[in-house]
Amino acid sequence: MSVNFNLTSKTKVDVFKDNASVQDVTNYQIDCTAWQEDNDTITSAAWSIESGSASIASEAVTAGVVSARITFNQSGKVLLSVLISTATVKKKIWIEILVRDRDCLADDYGMGT
């Protein structure tokens, strides 16, 4: 699965939201080309897990698009941060993901055992 977000200089919200299931592997891409035009060329993007259970792989920056593959290990909330850097500017983006267990969907409604 792939999820795409867009970042511009006019983007007011620095928190993007998504939903996933346990054991999902999702490719996240943040298209920063419009933001980059108003700032400078992106030199790096550092992905971090701030809270929750997930793993990060395949981090990349290609032509203003930052991406990574995220695997979700257990249900709950996962908070990712992405620090985008240019020669002169640093910008932190947050991605909040609600991870659900497909086998226990009744728990989402307070009906679990």
The domain in which residue 76 lies consists of 2-8+15-101
The answer to whether residue 66 sits within a structural domain is yes
Average pLDDT value for the chain: 89
The predicted pLDDT at position 105 comes to 62
pTM reported for the whole predicted model: 0.86
Over 90: is that where the pLDDT of 54 sits?
A: yes
CA 96 to chain centre: 7
Residue 32 lies in a domain: yes
Q: Average pLDDT, stretch 13-28? A: 92
Domain count for the chain: 1
**Three-class SS state of 3:** strand
Q: Is residue 54 part of a domain?
A: yes
Edge-first strand order for the sheet with 90-100 is: 15-21, 90-100, 76-85, 44-51
pLDDT at 97: 96
State pLDDT tens for residues 91-104: 999 999 999 988 77
Q: Which residues contact 86 (CB under 8 A, 6 or more apart)?
A: 36, 39, 40, 41, 42, 43
Domain-located, residue 31: yes
For residue 42, being part of any structural domain is answered with: yes
Whichever domain contains 26, its CATH number is 2.60.40.2020
Domain assignment present for 108: no
